[in-house]
Amino acid sequence: MSRILDHARRQAIAYVALFIALSGTTYAATNIPDDGSPVVGEATASKKIGAKRLKTNSVTARAIRRNAVRGSEVRESSLGRVPSATAASLLGGSTLAQVRSGIDAAALGGTPRSGFYDSGQVDTRLPRATEERSTGEQTFSSGNPVDRISLDLAAPRDGFALVIASGTIHPNANIAAGTCNTEMSVPEIPQVGRVATFTAGDTTISYETIATSWIVPVEAGTSTFTLRFGINPNISSNCATAFSAASSSLNAVWIPQAG
């Protein structure tokens, strides 16, 4: 017992110093000042440190735990461009603003943008078509042709018209003698029409269907085409029989000129 007391007397000062040291550390770890004064050492171990207590550039990358900083805590405007994405704002060498304004389309397949048609120009180059049909029958004879169908073709500019016609013809009575050359034509087109020939022995049930087509130039505007049936007196002889034009059709297609 005397040895213990003797040891305590000799080490009293050391024990007092140890007690004071331990008590001070505990106080510092649990009582971080709130007045913004600097905090250093192990006093930061168990309490958060406000931004105003951190000196600029005092926290290095090594002091931050991996993946501890999230994207929501980063000010994006402070970040620079990733080196491998230096051309991310360019498309084919043009900026986004140039792309939006169409400057990037300076050439397509070697053709400049000005070389392409806009929607209005495309519309004036598309073909136009019109068609008319007729049913029932109409009578015609030598010297008395019949205009069976009429149609209008609208051309937005100069070009060509493809006109296609067809019709069915038969005698109104049995043909006793002579030769009748019936003709289907379009009088607005100065070209020969199509002929169907009837001779002695043909009857009222002798039907002939004829069809033909023409390509003619047309100017911008409206062109009218008429389907006419008649008897050509220049190549007929002793034709006294009347005929009927049955089902018929007339089609016209506008074809633009190149350019």
pLDDT in tens, 91-108: 666 666 666 666 545 556
Report whether 241 contacts 144 (CB < 8 A): no
Compute the average pLDDT of residues 3-21.
Answer: 59
For position 93, what pLDDT does the model report? Answer: 64
The predicted pLDDT at position 43 comes to 47
DSSP 141: B
The pTM for the full model equals: 0.55
> What's the chain's average pLDDT?
78
State the Cα–Cα distance between residues 154 and 158, nearest whole angstrom: 10
What whole-number distance in Å separates Cα of residue 103 and Cα of residue 94?
8
Would you say 244 and 167 are in contact if contact means Cβ atoms under 8 Å apart?
A: no
Q: What's the pLDDT tens digit per position in 46-64?
A: 556 666 667 777 777 677 7
pLDDT exceeds cutoff 90 at 231: yes
CA 20, 22, 26, 28 torsion-angle sign: positive
The pLDDT tens digits of the residues spanning 133-176 come to 998 999 999 999 999 999 999 998 899 999 999 999 999 999 99
Beta strand 138-140 with 243-256 is antiparallel
| Structural domains of the chain sorted by starting position, each given as residue range(s) with its CATH number in brackets | 2-71 (no CATH), 83-115 (no CATH), 128-256 (2.60.120.760)
Residue 229 has pLDDT above 90, yes or no: yes
Nearest to 143 by CA among 235, 233, 238, 236: 233
Percentage of the chain exceeding pLDDT 70 = 59
pLDDT value for 73: 72
pLDDT digits over 111-129, tens only? 666 666 676 666 666 777 8
pLDDT computed for residue 157 by the predictor: 87
